Amino acid sequence: EDKVVQSPLSLVVHEGDTVTLNCSYEVTNFRSLLWYKQEKKAPTFLFMLTSSGIEKKSGRLSSILDKKELFSILNITATQTGDSAVYLCAEITSGTYKYIFGTGTRLKVLA
């Protein structure tokens, strides 16, 4: 059975800290891995990763995929209170548009 596991489940840091969120997956026909940020409502898209070793960046956020070791990390540098959210990782299997989600990492950034 395909599975996505995120760690840690929750994390509390102070503004200015750097955090690394982890996502590992076990899937039969991997196609892509995605990261979403969810505050109080709809998850919003952050990154889609398909190729191994290529870092994607958006401001203070960056992410990379390792297809050999079957994991991805999401880095947030110089964290701000607005980064407080649940971060979701999901994978898409080849031949389908269904996503399998991890349980999420709840990040709280203290001022």
Partner 1 sequence: DVKVTQSSRYLVKRTGEKVFLECVQDMDHENMFWYRQDPGLGLRLIYFSYDVKMKEKGDIPEGYSVSREKKERFSLILESASTNQTSMYLCASTAGGTSRGYTFGSGTRLTVV
User: Which positions touch partner 1 (CB under 8 A)?
Assistant: 34, 36, 41-45, 48, 88, 90, 92, 97-99, 101-104
Distance of closest approach, residue 57 Cβ to partner 1, in angstroms: 16
Of the pair 19, 100, the CB lying nearest partner 1 is at 100
Q: Is the dihedral of CA 83, 19, 91, 3 positive or negative?
A: negative
Distance of closest approach, residue 89 Cβ to partner 1, in angstroms: 9
Distance of closest approach, residue 12 Cβ to partner 1, in angstroms: 17
Give the residue from 104, 82, 110 showing the smallest Cα distance to 4. 104
Round the CA-based radius of gyration of the chain to a whole number and report it.
13
Which residue type sits at 74? L
Of the pair 89, 109, the CB lying nearest partner 1 is at 89
Tell me, what DSSP letter sits at residue 106?
E
